[in-house]
Chain A
Amino acid sequence: MNASLLSLEWMILGGGLVFLLLDLWTPAGKKRSLGYAAAALVAVTLVWSFRVDASTPQLAFNDGYVLDALALFFKRFFLIATIGVLLMSVDFADQFQAGIGEYYSLILFALGGMMLAASANDFTMLFVSIELITVTFYVLTSFLRHKTPSLEAGIKYLILGALSSGVMVYGIALVFGSSGTMKFGELAEKAAGLTHQKVFLIGALFLVAGLAFKISAFPFHVWTPDVYEGSPSPTTAFLAVGSKAAGFVLLLRFLFVAMPHAVVAEWSRVLMVMSGVTILYGNLCAIPQRSLKRLLGYSSISNGGYMLLGVAAMSHEGSTAVLYYLSGYLFTVLAGFLVISIVVRQLGSDDLKAIAGLHRRSPLLATALTLAMVSLAGVPPLAGFFGKFLLLKSVLEQGSSYYWLMAVAVVGVVISISYYLGVVRAIYWSDRPIEPKELILGAPMRIALYACVLGMLYLGLFPNFTLELASRATGVLKF
């Protein structure tokens, strides 16, 4: 086994342990610096990742771990997301009553899980990495121990997460039982003869259901709004970006590496229905929401649906579009949650009323949130537009049997505009009296916001570089 393949994971997981210890000796007033140090570690790891060569797939752990372009793309994605989340948590930390240092460590452990998930190449690694992510999140969601909604979120996530893990393990057992292998590579060959064996198919479907839970696709989305609303803002952001992306990379690998093509082709209708319903459900439910976090929760469901379009297209272009969309989504959602976390912390509420007149109190926050909403609504020249364009294009290229799905997606976009612009309206044209108090932003938050805004614009205006990376990453998938 080549341990150096896992250098990035070692850095992060080792770092998590070190921070756990450091927490013991850091005086209470200085815990904040631990967060910055953790962010710096992640940033260094990100830089280091450019020294990692993944041009040809390399295997470790008895073929359970693979380092290829797809894995590296997602690892970098998770690293960038985590920097944003860590900066957000430093700002948010004074809301926690205890265990600030542990919060940073847990984020690093979850990151480690996500990075392993990006490289998962057999069912053991898949399950272990998912559990590493999920179990960490059980704690992260209920970290505001003195607040009932946070505890409620944690319990709900724990029970529903356990249920879905149970389904997934059962699925793995069935697949292993019928095929006799845990490895993705071997399964693809062996399963060619199993395409009509019901036990195998049900097992595989259970697995898909477990992953659909992660990306909150209908009908496995039920936990999302409650957990998003109750969790601390940084956790919610991490759930929306990191956990969802981990679900997608596993889904892509499972469908297009492990499963035989004949089976997956059979499922395209199921995936299409799932993505169509997810888009409509998320968008429709978001309309009456008044809580920003809950609204973004539903928006996250619908966005999962859009990305599922690219999976359902079952083509290289479709998967590339998913990766591109995720990249844009990363900056957009981080920007949104950065603003929300500041608003929640300083105003104590995430109600739409709280952001009335935000442009007078902090132009930067208002601009960032507006751009995020506009990007989510898919307006050019921001990242969201080009992402949706690519996803729809990939669906369109699959022929006329997909046209209804196109129509559903477009209707979804139209509906979504109404609530995204509702947020913008709440900022600029609210008739509520505006409090004159200026909102205070620290330099790290400011930088993070600028970075997110630039990221949205960069991806929207100059999509080439990222597309190239995404296209190379999805080259390892088979269609």
Chain B
Amino acid sequence: MATQIENIAWWILLLPLLSAVGITLFTLRFHKLSAQISIAAVSVSFLLSLLLFVALPGSAFSVSASWIHVADLSIDFRLILDPLSKLMLLVVTGVGMLIHIYSYGYLHDDRSLSRYFASLSLFTFSMLGIVLASNFVMMFIFWELVGVSSYLLIGFWYEKASAADACKKAFLTNRVGDFGFILGILVVWAALGSLEFDQLKAVLAAHPGKLGAMAGVGGLLVFCGAMGKSAQFPLHVWLPDAMEGPTPVSALIHAATMVAAGVYMLCRTFFLFQATPAWPEALAFLHGWTALDIIAWIGGATALMAALMAVQQDDIKRILAYSTLSQLGYMVMAVGLSGPSPAMYHLTTHAFFKAMLFLGAGSVIHACHHEQNIWRMGGLFRKMPITSWTFLLGALALCGVQPLSGFYSKDAILAQAMEHSLPLFGLAMGVAGLTTFYMFRLVFVAFFGKERGEQAAHAHESPGIMTWPLRALAFFTVASGVMGIDHFIAGAFAAGGHEAASLSFAEALMAPFAHSPAAAFLGLFATMLGLSAAWACYGAADADPLPQRFGSIAQTMRHRFYFDEMYEEAIRLTHDAIASVADWIDRWLISGLLVRGAHGSFEVFGRFLRLLQSGNLQTYAFLLVAGLLAIIYLSFSH
């Protein structure tokens, strides 16, 4: 067994855990060593993933280890390794590795560097656990672990009140989604009697109606989990605030991994949504809709709203955060339009270019001494050529400009939308235009024009440890569109497991135009429109012209449609009501009657019994003999 190549999957999963444990226990005081351990762990995980991918690209298999085995009780750990998880392994460990390296440059003089790397390793471990999970229970465990480790990372600078609040907000918002998720898991378990993905898939393939009336509800509840992690409306509020964490953390968990977990989970459990749609009596008004329709519209709404909010943000990281929200909306929409494979494709390319954008933003922030307002930057292009070029490349990819990767994956989603739902296609087109508009607002204001701040004037390029990861990501940003990832994913989702014929380079380059020319041309058109609008408004602006022209609309966008305020008020009111009831119960029933009552009576009893233990030897001997007689009496008494 041990010699089989499959078993290296365990190492991929466990190395980051070992690193987290090792750093916490032994090397907390040695920052450099901790960083090296953590980087080495994720790098080896990446190489092993690559080895697994190259050695066994198309095959799907799993490795298992029994954890507890007592008579009839048996609990196994099983890692699933199909094309889907292998691709995701590469994304998580690959992008993760670059971000680990970058982090060391970005945070090299932080006094808690070891704690940072320990949390980062723990996060990587949890994320890999989600990717490799073979059943809902395991996935949920790692799901929560991701929640915990992201809490640690977002709140890394816990001395800052805003960071401490942000990590709490992220964790609690996620918990709301997770509550739905676990209910969904219970629904599935109750209806199908299993939680193993393979078995569920087989059962549903044979009897699509087996979920019965709970098909829609179960699907939506499971989707709740994705809604939390992937920050979909209405649980999107945590992600922008989570930008309080260090920038590499934003790159890792808010671009490439954690937020992608929701989409990945939807793709992994896509078979659930293919069950015969049905609703219970109480939800009869939903007839005619499927869970997927609702998911698609939630995704679309998120994409549009986030894009609108992004237009009026001034913080470089927040703009990227809203654009992440918007792109995640795209992916969720694609899943909702029965297109898990475009969703996974966009997830993969997005992981590359968004991580690069975040790291680029980090480089800018680093150079400007932690200035994050784009209106106090400007003219960075000449001072930071590598950062600026890669950032520009990332922005173009995000906008969907051919031949960058973003064009191909976004086009796949647009084509999917065009095929299934024209209203959503229109919406997606609008979002594409808005995306270009706000991204180039950012690029024009921050990188071109004249310096508008003291810090920006003295900016200079970041060190090589930070720019090299940028270059590596830039390569993938350019290349991942034509590497055949889409075919690989399509093969993974195809029923018979057959792989689509591979295309030549030139064919791959122009594939979108051949496949769905209308979507491709309209997408490029929207991009051009957004670009020219951005040029018109911000080409040479020193202040934002929109608030004057649109007044209250711009104001509403700037305040993110007042979602946070609304939630805060609603939570405050319900909190106060629930808290006063809970306080009463806790004070009088639990603490008073149960705890104090039980504790008090046991205490009195214990004190009484202690009198028996007098220390007097004669008493002891007497008790012993009396006890013996009692035992003999008891055993002969029946």
A interface residues, Cβ below 8 angstroms from B: 155-156, 159-160, 163-164, 167, 198, 201-202, 205-206, 208-209, 213, 218-220, 222-223, 225-226, 266-267, 269-270, 273-274, 281, 284-288, 317, 390, 414-415, 418, 462-464, 467
When the two chains form their complex, are residues A220 and B607 in contact, meaning their CB atoms are under 8 A apart?
Answer: no
B162 to chain A, nearest CB (A): 29
- Hey, which chain A residues are within 8 Å of B607, CB to CB? 288
B interface residues, Cβ below 8 angstroms from A: 66-71, 598-599, 602-603, 605-607, 609-610, 613, 615, 617, 620-621, 623-628, 630-632, 634-636, 638
Decide if the interface of chain B is mainly helix, strand, loop or mixed: helix
When the two chains form their complex, are residues A219 and B630 in contact, meaning their CB atoms are under 8 A apart?
Answer: yes
When the two chains form their complex, are residues B609 and A317 in contact, meaning their CB atoms are under 8 A apart?
Answer: no
In whole angstroms, how far apart are the Cα atoms of A287 and B604 in the complex? 10
- Hey, which chain B residues are within 8 Å of A206, CB to CB? 628
In whole angstroms, how far apart are the Cα atoms of A220 and B71 in the complex? 35
Count of inter-chain pairs, beta carbons less than 8 A: 88
Q: Answer whether A226 and B623 are a contact pair too, CB < 8 Å, given A201-B635, A415-B602.
A: no
* The one of B605, B613, B620, B635 that contacts A270, using a Cβ cutoff of 8 Å: B635
In whole angstroms, how far apart are the Cα atoms of A467 and B71 in the complex? 10
When the two chains form their complex, are residues A287 and B602 in contact, meaning their CB atoms are under 8 A apart?
Answer: yes
In whole angstroms, how far apart are the Cα atoms of A284 and B606 in the complex? 5
When the two chains form their complex, are residues A284 and B635 in contact, meaning their CB atoms are under 8 A apart?
Answer: no
In whole angstroms, how far apart are the Cα atoms of A467 and B610 in the complex? 37
In whole angstroms, how far apart are the Cα atoms of A390 and B68 in the complex? 12
Q: What are 11 A-B pairs with beta-carbon distances under 8 A?
A: A163-B621, A205-B631, A209-B627, A218-B627, A220-B628, A266-B635, A269-B634, A269-B638, A284-B606, A415-B602, A464-B68
When the two chains form their complex, are residues A209 and B631 in contact, meaning their CB atoms are under 8 A apart?
Answer: yes
- Hey, which chain A residues are within 8 Å of B605, CB to CB? 284
- Residue among B67, B609, B623 facing the most chain A CB atoms (10 A cut-off): B609
A111 to chain B, nearest CB (A): 27
10 closest pairs, A vs B, by CB?
A219-B627, A287-B606, A222-B620, A284-B606, A270-B635, A285-B609, A209-B628, A288-B606, A222-B623, A288-B607
- Residue among B607, B610, B628, B636 facing the most chain A CB atoms (10 A cut-off): B628
- Hey, which chain B residues are within 8 Å of A414, CB to CB? 598
- Hey, which chain A residues are within 8 Å of B602, CB to CB? 284, 287, 415, 418
When the two chains form their complex, are residues B69 and A464 in contact, meaning their CB atoms are under 8 A apart?
Answer: yes
A334 to chain B, nearest CB (A): 20
When the two chains form their complex, are residues B599 and A163 in contact, meaning their CB atoms are under 8 A apart?
Answer: no
In whole angstroms, how far apart are the Cα atoms of A463 and B607 in the complex? 38
In whole angstroms, how far apart are the Cα atoms of A156 and B623 in the complex? 14
* The one of B71, B603, B624, B626 that contacts A163, using a Cβ cutoff of 8 Å: B624
In whole angstroms, how far apart are the Cα atoms of A430 and B598 in the complex? 23
When the two chains form their complex, are residues A226 and B606 in contact, meaning their CB atoms are under 8 A apart?
Answer: no
In whole angstroms, how far apart are the Cα atoms of A147 and B631 in the complex? 36
* The one of B69, B613, B617, B638 that contacts A159, using a Cβ cutoff of 8 Å: B617
When the two chains form their complex, are residues B613 and A156 in contact, meaning their CB atoms are under 8 A apart?
Answer: no
- Hey, which chain B residues are within 8 Å of A220, CB to CB? 624, 627-628
In whole angstroms, how far apart are the Cα atoms of A226 and B606 in the complex? 16
In whole angstroms, how far apart are the Cα atoms of A270 and B621 in the complex? 21
- Hey, which chain B residues are within 8 Å of A281, CB to CB? 609
In whole angstroms, how far apart are the Cα atoms of A251 and B68 in the complex? 29
* The one of B68, B598, B610, B624 that contacts A463, using a Cβ cutoff of 8 Å: B68
- Hey, which chain B residues are within 8 Å of A464, CB to CB? 66-69
In whole angstroms, how far apart are the Cα atoms of A463 and B626 in the complex? 41
* The one of A160, A205, A223, A225 that contacts B632, using a Cβ cutoff of 8 Å: A205
- Hey, which chain B residues are within 8 Å of A415, CB to CB? 602
When the two chains form their complex, are residues A267 and B635 in contact, meaning their CB atoms are under 8 A apart?
Answer: yes
Chain B, Cβ-Cβ closest to A468: B69
In whole angstroms, how far apart are the Cα atoms of A477 and B621 in the complex? 33
In whole angstroms, how far apart are the Cα atoms of A333 and B242 in the complex? 45
B355 to chain A, nearest CB (A): 34
* The one of A160, A198, A286, A467 that contacts B606, using a Cβ cutoff of 8 Å: A286
Chain A, Cβ-Cβ closest to B70: A467
When the two chains form their complex, are residues B624 and A273 in contact, meaning their CB atoms are under 8 A apart?
Answer: no
In whole angstroms, how far apart are the Cα atoms of A462 and B67 in the complex? 7
- Hey, which chain A residues are within 8 Å of B68, CB to CB? 463-464
Chain A, Cβ-Cβ closest to B66: A464
B321 to chain A, nearest CB (A): 37
* The one of B69, B606, B628 that contacts A167, using a Cβ cutoff of 8 Å: B628
- Residue among B625, B626, B627 facing the most chain A CB atoms (10 A cut-off): B627
* The one of A159, A274, A463 that contacts B631, using a Cβ cutoff of 8 Å: A274
Other A-B pairs, 15, CB within 8 Å; known A202-B632, A222-B623, A467-B70: A160-B624, A163-B621, A163-B625, A167-B628, A205-B632, A208-B631, A209-B628, A219-B623, A220-B624, A220-B628, A225-B613, A284-B609, A288-B606, A418-B602, A463-B70
- Hey, which chain A residues are within 8 Å of B634, CB to CB? 269-270, 273
When the two chains form their complex, are residues A219 and B606 in contact, meaning their CB atoms are under 8 A apart?
Answer: no
When the two chains form their complex, are residues A418 and B599 in contact, meaning their CB atoms are under 8 A apart?
Answer: yes
- Residue among B602, B625, B632 facing the most chain A CB atoms (10 A cut-off): B602
* The one of B66, B67, B609, B626 that contacts A219, using a Cβ cutoff of 8 Å: B626
In whole angstroms, how far apart are the Cα atoms of A202 and B617 in the complex? 26
When the two chains form their complex, are residues A222 and B70 in contact, meaning their CB atoms are under 8 A apart?
Answer: no
In whole angstroms, how far apart are the Cα atoms of A1 and B624 in the complex? 40
- Hey, which chain A residues are within 8 Å of B615, CB to CB? 226
B200 to chain A, nearest CB (A): 27
In whole angstroms, how far apart are the Cα atoms of A164 and B627 in the complex? 12
In whole angstroms, how far apart are the Cα atoms of A267 and B603 in the complex? 32
Chain A, Cβ-Cβ closest to B626: A219
In whole angstroms, how far apart are the Cα atoms of A206 and B624 in the complex? 12
Chain B, Cβ-Cβ closest to A229: B615
A238 to chain B, nearest CB (A): 22
- Hey, which chain A residues are within 8 Å of B67, CB to CB? 462, 464
A318 to chain B, nearest CB (A): 12
Chain B, Cβ-Cβ closest to A286: B606
Chain B, Cβ-Cβ closest to A164: B624
- Hey, which chain A residues are within 8 Å of B609, CB to CB? 281, 284-285
B67 to chain A, nearest CB (A): 8
In whole angstroms, how far apart are the Cα atoms of A270 and B628 in the complex? 12
- Hey, which chain B residues are within 8 Å of A219, CB to CB? 623-624, 626-628, 630-631
In whole angstroms, how far apart are the Cα atoms of A39 and B68 in the complex? 33
A371 to chain B, nearest CB (A): 14
B331 to chain A, nearest CB (A): 36
B475 to chain A, nearest CB (A): 42
B68 to chain A, nearest CB (A): 6
- Hey, which chain B residues are within 8 Å of A205, CB to CB? 628, 631-632, 635
In whole angstroms, how far apart are the Cα atoms of A464 and B631 in the complex? 37
When the two chains form their complex, are residues A223 and B620 in contact, meaning their CB atoms are under 8 A apart?
Answer: yes
- Hey, which chain B residues are within 8 Å of A164, CB to CB? 624
B13 to chain A, nearest CB (A): 16
Chain A, Cβ-Cβ closest to B609: A285
- Hey, which chain B residues are within 8 Å of A284, CB to CB? 602, 605-606, 609
- Hey, which chain A residues are within 8 Å of B69, CB to CB? 464
In whole angstroms, how far apart are the Cα atoms of A266 and B631 in the complex? 13
- Hey, which chain A residues are within 8 Å of B603, CB to CB? 287-288
* The one of A222, A266, A286, A462 that contacts B624, using a Cβ cutoff of 8 Å: A222
- Hey, which chain A residues are within 8 Å of B621, CB to CB? 159-160, 163
B79 to chain A, nearest CB (A): 17
When the two chains form their complex, are residues B628 and A288 in contact, meaning their CB atoms are under 8 A apart?
Answer: no
In whole angstroms, how far apart are the Cα atoms of A208 and B71 in the complex? 30
Chain A, Cβ-Cβ closest to B627: A219
B349 to chain A, nearest CB (A): 39
- Residue among A206, A270, A463, A464 facing the most chain B CB atoms (10 A cut-off): A270
In whole angstroms, how far apart are the Cα atoms of A418 and B599 in the complex? 8
In whole angstroms, how far apart are the Cα atoms of A475 and B267 in the complex? 49
- Hey, which chain B residues are within 8 Å of A167, CB to CB? 628
In whole angstroms, how far apart are the Cα atoms of A206 and B602 in the complex? 33
- Hey, which chain A residues are within 8 Å of B632, CB to CB? 202, 205
* The one of A269, A274, A288 that contacts B610, using a Cβ cutoff of 8 Å: A288
In whole angstroms, how far apart are the Cα atoms of A205 and B636 in the complex? 11
In whole angstroms, how far apart are the Cα atoms of A160 and B618 in the complex? 10
- Hey, which chain A residues are within 8 Å of B599, CB to CB? 418
B126 to chain A, nearest CB (A): 17
